Chain A
Amino acid sequence: MTCCNVDVGKILKEYSEEKGNLMEILHKIQNSSKENYICDDCMKKISDYTKLPLNKLYGVTSFYTMFSNKKRGKYVIRMCESCPCHVLGAEAVINSFVDELGIKVGETTKDGKFTLEHCACLGLCAVAPAVMINEDVHGNLKPEMVKDIIAKYE
């Protein structure tokens, strides 16, 4: 029972049918996917298991910025654009990522490596401007640092 390389059945079995774990289930399934998303097949299985109608389930995944039903890159770059980062030059940093990767915000590079996303405050304001790449944090950024950061990811 695998699809998009995630063994959904196994993950679902870890959780009781009791209400209150849907968010955790969704996080776990998405994190297990190499492409950082939850595919339509998985959505159906989650819906069957939790007895939550499929339309409601899509309502949930589309509501929260962290979930995606579209294929994303191996690395998701979340760029903070809230005020504390903005006043310290986040826009130039964001533009530098856009230029360096040659994609717009919301797009994925052709090789499937990076996806660029805007996001609200990451709580890393002490090192603003900041971005998160998957679970890594990069702070005190300047536009000229972007190239080296991207080069670190393979």
Chain B
Amino acid sequence: MKFYRSHIILGMDTPSLLAGAKGVRDTLEKQLKEKNIVNEIRIVETGSLGYNGVSMIIYPEGIIYTGIKPEDIKELVEEHLIKGRPVKRLMAIESSQKDICAGKQEKLLDGQVRIVLKNAGSIDPENIIEYIAKDGYMALGKVLNENTPKEVIDIVKNSELKGRGGAAFPTGKKWEFTYNTESSQKYVICNADEGEPGTFKDRLIMEGDPHAVIEAMAICAYAIGANKGYIYVRGEYKLSIDRIKKAIKDAEEHNFLGENIFDSDFSFNIEVCLGGGAYVCGEETALIESIEGKRGEPRLKPPYPPVCGLFGKPTIVNNVETLANIPQIILNGSDWFKKLGVKGSAGTKVFTILGDINEKGLIEVPMGISLKEVFENIAKGTRSGKKVKFAHIGGSSGNIVPFNNFDIKLDLNTLASSDLTHGSGVILFVSEDIHINDYLKSVAKFFKHESCGKCTPCREGTFRIYQFMEKLNKKEGKKSDISKMKDLCKVMKNASFCGLGQAAVNPFLDAMTHFEKEMMEGVKEGKK
């Protein structure tokens, strides 16, 4: 193996490319050639490093540079790589130097451990060797050699890992259902149809660490007795699709997938299935219909997929982030995992923080951090300098939390006791200059478009809510519109066929509780 004295890890995800990462890489290559040090320094392209602008980390020093432009490269190469003097003006702020992906909260939150994003940003996702060097596929080897399927399920069960896609169902329990169902054919599906507006954590995991997903699927397959898996990726996620396909191919070549893995009698294959741009396909039974080549309409439950899923066979559907936790749980044990986070909410959670704030991006924090801490310490306040009005957490179907309630802790129990959910982990901060009616109209439009049309409460309900919001937004509403909308929301919550219609009403119900007065501004004078 060739030896390099330095490695430059360069973030080449979509936002970095937009900021000019390609130009930076080309200039860097040119400079290395010019200085004749191509053989000493290796450039590794990776996913997001979690910073704004083009960023890179130079190892072995581990120094992080951000906001790099092609014209900075000459100085960087001469000073850092040749003379060994870091270029201070380009270095990321002191406090974040130690940490790569999670950024600045490292100092604030002692004992933070990154599980899901462990490798994202520190390895080349297209190189399987680098994943193996970071203990990759060790967990798979361990379970195949040391554990029975039942033991694997017990480890996952004891870790108290809960699904990270939104419903928070205990993962180990789900696996056990399928394990206990007798069938000659079982399936594992990775749900990567990330459609919740504001979420892109799964995309970054797949772009930054695709092998973790594949390894986890293989472990799951061994535990439940499946030999075929599907990864259902959004059709729009071009880079994720390419990286996952490459990772599958490499894993097959190394016999981490295929026949007789690690010389055991366990065989497992994975196929990629592309989505077609339908939000409802994130619902597991709709996703299964879509893989079967049908319209992605949800099925009647029960039977649930763990008993009767794809092609009528027992099937596990797990979210990307859920799966990415599995190899680490196997390697470090369930007690280690349980100690992270708070009681009832084991482990960490990846949040995407967005909106009118200074630091947008992806963070992985232990469960139990408060919304206020996220806003003040991580997001660093609003970018426009205006007051923040509310946060919409969990995506469009999530809850609206007004600024007064920002003390709430973001763990499953606390949220559930206030009838909230962190859903897929989006936190969108909205400032005071956005009118609530304008915002809700945008939410309503989304659901009107994405309702699949199978059941009446959701199909007609999302349509009517949009009509109400359109009227209110034009200040042509009636006073009775709001009470009618409240009734409609209750009907949809109770009578919709699947989670889409049931959850679509959440933001509207919250807004009617917290911002009724402002919504009333959309009522035309004199109209009752």
Instruction: Please state if A83 and B296 are interface contacts (CB–CB under 8 Å).
Output: no
Q: Please, how many residues of chain A have a CB less than 8 angstroms from a CB on the other chain?
A: 43
A88 at the interface (CB under 8 A from B): yes
For residue B460, CB closer than 8 A to chain A, the reply is no
Which residues of B sit under 8 angstroms from A118, Cβ to Cβ? 449
Flag if A20 contacts B271 (CB, 8 Å): yes
* Distance A21 CA – B294 CA, assembled complex (angstroms): 11
- The answer to whether A120 touches B449 (Cβ under 8 A) is yes
Q: How far is the CB of B299 from chain A (nearest CB, A)?
A: 15
Whether B200 and A125, one on each chain, are in contact in the complex, defined by CB atoms closer than 8 angstroms, is yes
Q: In residues 20-38 of chain A, which contact B (Cβ within 8 Å)?
A: 20-24, 26-27
Interface presence of A140 (CB below 8 A): yes
Interface positions of A from 95 to 135, Cβ below 8 Å from B: 118-128, 132, 135
Query: Does A65 reach chain B (CB closer than 8 Å)?
Result: yes
Q: Most chain-B CB neighbours within 10 Å: which of A56, A81, A125, A138?
A: A125
Say yes or no for B290: interface residue by CB 8 A criterion. Answer: yes
Q: Are A127 and B200 in contact (CB under 8 A)?
A: no
A3 within 8 Å of B (CB atoms): no
CB within 8 Å for A82 and B14 given contacts A20-B271, A87-B434, A120-B449 = no
CB neighbours of A135 from chain B (8 A):
238
CB of B359, distance to nearest CB on chain A (Å): 10
Bound together, the chains give a CA A56 to CA B295 distance in angstroms of: 9
Q: B195, B271, B296, B392: which contacts A120 (Cβ < 8 A)?
A: B195
Output the least CB separation between B20 and chain A (Å).
12
Q: Is the CB of B197 within 8 A of A121?
A: yes
Q: Is B263 an interface residue (CB 8 A)?
A: no
Task: List, in ascending order, chain B residues with CB within 8 A of A86's CB.
Answer: 439, 442
A63-B355 contact, Cβ under 8 Å, with A83-B198, A137-B14? no
Q: How far is the CB of A105 from chain B (nearest CB, A)?
A: 12
Bound form: Cα–Cα A56–B278 in Å: 17
Instruction: Tell yes or no: A69 within 8 A of B by CB.
Output: no
Bits for B272-293, please: 1 = Cβ < 8 Å to A, else 0. Answer: 1111111100000000001111
Kindly list chain A residues whose C-beta atoms are within 8 Å of the C-beta of B163.
none
> Separation in Å of the B428 CB from the closest CB of chain A?
6
Decide if B396 touches A123 in the complex (CB within 8 Å). no
Flag A29-51 by CB within 8 Å of B: 1 or 0 each: 00000000000000000000010
Q: Are B291 and A20 closer than 8 Å at their CB atoms?
A: yes
Is A66 close to B, CB under 8 A?
A: yes
B192-208 CB mask vs A (1 if < 8 Å, else 0) is: 00111111100100000
User: For the complex, is A52 an interface residue (Cβ under 8 Å from B)?
Assistant: yes
- Cβ-defined contact, A60 with B195, below 8 A: no
B507 CB to nearest A CB, Å: 9
* A123 partner residues in chain B, CB cutoff 8 A: 194, 199-200, 203, 234, 236-237
Contacting pair B428 A84 (CB below 8 A) = yes
Chain A residue with Cβ nearest B311: A19
B129: interface (CB < 8 Å): no
CB distance from A70 to the nearest CB of B (A): 16
Residue of B nearest to A91 (CB): B442
Assess the A64–B277 pair: CB atoms within 8 A. yes
Task: Return chain A residues, CB-CB under 8 Å to B18.
Answer: 127, 137-140
With A126-B200, A126-B360 as contacts: A87 and B430 at CB distance below 8 Å: yes
**Are B293 and A84 in contact, CB atoms less than 8 angstroms apart?**
no
Judge whether B293 and A50 touch: CB under 8 Å: yes
CB pair A88–B356 under 8 Å, yes or no, is: yes
Q: Report if B230 contacts A (CB, 8 A).
A: yes
CB pair A125 B354 closer than 8 Å: yes
The docked-state distance in angstroms from the alpha carbon of A27 to that of B272 is 13
The 7 closest A-B pairs by CB, nearest first: A64-B276, A22-B293, A82-B197, A121-B197, A65-B277, A66-B277, A123-B200
Pairs across A and B, CB under 8 Å, 23 listed: A20-B230, A20-B271, A22-B293, A23-B275, A23-B293, A24-B272, A60-B293, A64-B275, A64-B276, A81-B442, A81-B445, A83-B197, A83-B396, A83-B442, A86-B439, A118-B449, A120-B446, A120-B450, A122-B236, A124-B200, A125-B354, A126-B352, A126-B361
Which B residues contact A (CB, under 8 angstroms)? 14-15, 17-18, 194-200, 203, 230, 234-238, 271-279, 290-297, 311, 352, 354-356, 360-362, 392, 396, 426, 428, 430, 434, 439, 442-443, 445-446, 449-450, 452
